[in-house]
Amino acid sequence: MKSILIALGANTPGRWGSPVAALERAVAELGRAGVRVRALSRIYVTAPVGRAGQPDFVNAVVAASTGLEPPRLLRLLKRLERRAGRRPGPRNGPRPLDLDIVDHGGRIAGWRRLGRRPGALILPHPEAHRRTFVLMPLLDVAPDWIHPALRTPGRRLLADSRRGL
């Protein structure tokens, strides 16, 4: 069993109800799929990134453990997003559910400090270290977390993200 961190977000109603209801249902569905949720952060309300004119997001992070390898876990998360009503749309656009693997047992895969490789599974999440809306709830459930690729404590990354670094 690997310790994992999963970021959850939503800003539009979907099949699972309001954004908060979608996050709650996603946590329950993770448990039913064999992901053992150990802790759930507080829910944070944050402004959307990238696209103007959309509702604020609700965000949270779960600390969990799973025997699923990253590709299988990612497939599970994408399946849950679809079941909640998510459809393909513009990057950083509104969505009824967004689930991202932030960390999977400290594994580093496909990670480049300078950006994404399209279509690749990247661990840790390639943008988590820049996103206050991920780092705040992450530190609720993993206060001593250290970014596996940057080898930087989460608290320092949060301070840097708030300063726009």
The rounded distance, in Å, linking the Cα atoms of 133 and 111 is: 20
Active-site residue, from 36, 75, 98, 103: 98
User: Three-state SS for 20?
Assistant: helix
95 is catalytic: yes
The residue from 32, 75, 82, 100 that is catalytic is 100
Q: Look up 56 and say whether it is catalytic.
A: no
Is 79 in the active site? no
Catalytic residue among 86, 103, 112, 140: 86
* Omega prior to 124 cis, within 30 of 0: yes
End-to-end CA distance of the chain: 34
| C-alpha to C-alpha distance for 122 and 79, rounded to whole angstroms | 18
Residues noted as catalytic: 86, 95, 98, 100
